[in-house]
């Protein structure tokens, strides 16, 4: 039976009351209500009695989080915390937009991304949000498929259950969710930290892109897994399904068909990133795990390599910025122009974006997703594409003859082979 009924009032530590309007749902920790707070509809999460192992410490951490404010707009962060009354406490947060769906719904195919590009966008936003959280000296502690709500059309992400977030290496008695906990947490050898978050992040990114768990291959298909089996699978003997040195846990045809198909079409540099992030070295040594900035570099490149087919509108995973056949209509997608970046080239297709992390090896995590240039339709010739300066600074454009021009923010340069743009002590070449 719900703790509250419509009209019940709870006081917050700010002195402003919360008035319950409607019961929404219940979970393992507590209940969620629609409530009026300061004249606006918000969500009130109320904890059940006797479910938190250390309610005093949890309450203090919750108040500290609310006082700090959200590290990134993606987090449905506590706005304020209630007073301790009715034998428990809760917190107020924004309501989730109904266009956002829980990641679990994507994994069971109840909801599907409109495009694979949107799935990659979700990965970028998740990696970016946790980069900011970690840079603020915090860790999430309990990352799992129930924490993420994603818009299937845009890839925009909302991250909930932020009552679990706490200063790095602090003990809030929250260990995580089986399947998402790092091996050292499963084995009781470590508390949640930014390093354990990075294991969980690799798992979540793989599940979004491949639709399966990266450790649940042939070994996972054993009938009636015991707790001891699961401890080996996730703790003492974890093995990435595509570990290049050990094929004992490969995906099983007929069971993991989607995963097998998706992995096959992944660019080699994306495969390499997961192989590195889930290698035996990274699984056993927390300090060797992929950092958020490294994920961002891989993911923005991947997003740029997904191009819309001009014949059928399907998505084409362009290989090496060269002509690539469309798997949907079999027509060849012809790459007219490419952009030469620091280590590779990307297709100069409509809406292609280049970020600072793709051209500037010295950029820090805070500036990694700063847009540098974007491929747009020219205003004077809508059917013709150009390259727009997406920074707030004047950059230099150099013609094939060597003439140097100033390119102001928002100015568009013709997509013409031989033109070079100099920005952030780096160069982008149009080919």
- pLDDT tens string 197-236: 999 999 999 999 999 999 999 999 987 889 899 999 999 9
For residue 30, what is the domain's CATH number? 3.30.200.20
| Token duo for residue 33 | 């209500």
pTM above 0.85, yes or no: yes
The yes-or-no verdict on residue 119 having pLDDT over 70 is: yes
Q: What is the pLDDT of residue 220?
A: 93
119 within domain boundaries: yes
Tell me how far apart the alpha carbons of residues 55 and 177 are, in angstroms, rounded to a whole number. Answer: 19
- Same structural domain for residues 113 and 88? no
- Same structural domain for residues 287 and 171? yes
The residue range of the domain holding 62 is: 9-93
| Token duo for residue 354 | 């280049």
Q: What is the pLDDT of residue 223?
A: 75
3 within domain boundaries: no
- Same structural domain for residues 164 and 229? yes
| Token duo for residue 373 | 């240039």
SS3 content of the chain, % helix, strand, coil (to 5): 30, 25, 50
324 within domain boundaries: no
317 within domain boundaries: no
The yes-or-no verdict on residue 174 having pLDDT over 70 is: no
Between 132-136, 379-383, 418-422, the lowest mean confidence (pLDDT) is in 379-383
130 within domain boundaries: yes
- Same structural domain for residues 105 and 87? no
Between 121-125, 222-226, 332-336, 372-376, the lowest mean confidence (pLDDT) is in 222-226
- Same structural domain for residues 367 and 393? yes
Tell me how far apart the alpha carbons of residues 82 and 330 are, in angstroms, rounded to a whole number. Answer: 59
For residue 157, what is the domain's CATH number? 1.10.510.10
Q: What is the pLDDT of residue 1?
A: 67
The yes-or-no verdict on residue 138 having pLDDT over 70 is: yes
330 within domain boundaries: no
pLDDT (tens digit per residue) in 272-327: 999 999 999 999 999 999 999 999 999 999 999 999 998 999 999 998 889 999 99
Q: How many domains does the chain have?
A: 3
Binned at pLDDT 50, 70 and 90, residue 342 comes out as confident
Contact (Cβ atoms closer than 8 angstroms) between residue 353 and residue 374: yes
The yes-or-no verdict on residue 172 having pLDDT over 70 is: no
Contact (Cβ atoms closer than 8 angstroms) between residue 205 and residue 193: no
Strand 371-377 versus strand 353-355 pairing type: antiparallel
Number of H helices, E strands in the chain: 10, 25
- Same structural domain for residues 160 and 244? yes
The yes-or-no verdict on residue 379 having pLDDT over 90 is: no
- Same structural domain for residues 107 and 216? yes
The yes-or-no verdict on residue 113 having pLDDT over 90 is: yes
Tell me how far apart the alpha carbons of residues 45 and 34 are, in angstroms, rounded to a whole number. Answer: 9
Tell me how far apart the alpha carbons of residues 274 and 267 are, in angstroms, rounded to a whole number. Answer: 11
Strand 148-150 versus strand 101-102 pairing type: antiparallel
């Amino acid at each position: 039976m719900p703790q509250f009924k419509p009209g019940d009032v709870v006081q917050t530590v700010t002195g402003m009351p919360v008035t319950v309007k409607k019961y929404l749902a219940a979970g393992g920790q507590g209940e969620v209500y629609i409530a009026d707070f300061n004249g606006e509809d918000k969500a009130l999460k109320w904890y059940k009695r006797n479910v938190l192992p250390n309610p005093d410490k949890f309450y203090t951490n919750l108040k500290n989080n609310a006082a700090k404010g959200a590290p990134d707009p993606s987090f449905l962060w506590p706005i304020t915390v209630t007073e301790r009354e009715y034998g428990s406490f809760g917190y107020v947060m924004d309501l989730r937009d109904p266009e956002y769906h829980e990641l679990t719904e994507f994994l069971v195919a109840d909801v599907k991304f409109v495009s694979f590009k949107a799935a990659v966008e979700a990965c970028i936003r998740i990696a970016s949000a946790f980069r900011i959280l970690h840079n603020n000296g915090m860790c999430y502690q309990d990352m799992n498929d129930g924490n993420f709500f994603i818009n299937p059309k845009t890839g925009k992400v909302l991250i909930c259950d932020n009552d679990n977030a706490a200063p790095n290496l602090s003990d809030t008695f929250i260990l995580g969710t089986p399947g998402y906990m790092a091996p050292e947490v499963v084995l009781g050898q470590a508390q949640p930290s930014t390093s354990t978050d990075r294991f969980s992040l690799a798992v979540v990114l793989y599940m979004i892109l491949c639709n399966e768990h990266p450790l649940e291959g042939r070994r996972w298909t054993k009938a009636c897994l015991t707790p001891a089996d699961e401890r080996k699978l996730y703790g003492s003997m974890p093995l990435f399904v595509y570990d290049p040195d050990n094929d004992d846990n490969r995906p099983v045809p007929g069971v993991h068909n989607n995963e097998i198909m998706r992995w096959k079409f992944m660019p080699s540099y994306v495969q390499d990133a997961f192989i590195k992030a889930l290698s035996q070295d990274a699984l056993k040594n927390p300090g060797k795990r992929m950092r958020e900035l490294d994920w961002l570099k891989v993911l923005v490149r991947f997003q740029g390599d997904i191009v819309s087919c001009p014949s059928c509108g399907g998505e084409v995973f362009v290989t090496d910025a060269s002509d690539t056949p469309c798997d949907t209509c079999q027509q060849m997608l012809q790459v007219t122009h490419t952009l030469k970046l620091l280590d590779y080239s990307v297709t100069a297709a409509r809406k292609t974006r280049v970020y600072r992390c793709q051209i500037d090896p010295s950029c820090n995590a805070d500036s990694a997703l700063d847009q540098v240039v974007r491929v747009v339709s020219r205003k004077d010739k809508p059917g013709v594409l150009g390259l727009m300066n997406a920074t707030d600074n004047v950059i230099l454009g150099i013609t094939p003859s060597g003439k140097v021009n100033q390119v102001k923010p928002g100015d568009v340069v013709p997509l013409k082979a031989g033109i070079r743009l100099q920005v952030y002590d780096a160069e982008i070449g149009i080919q």
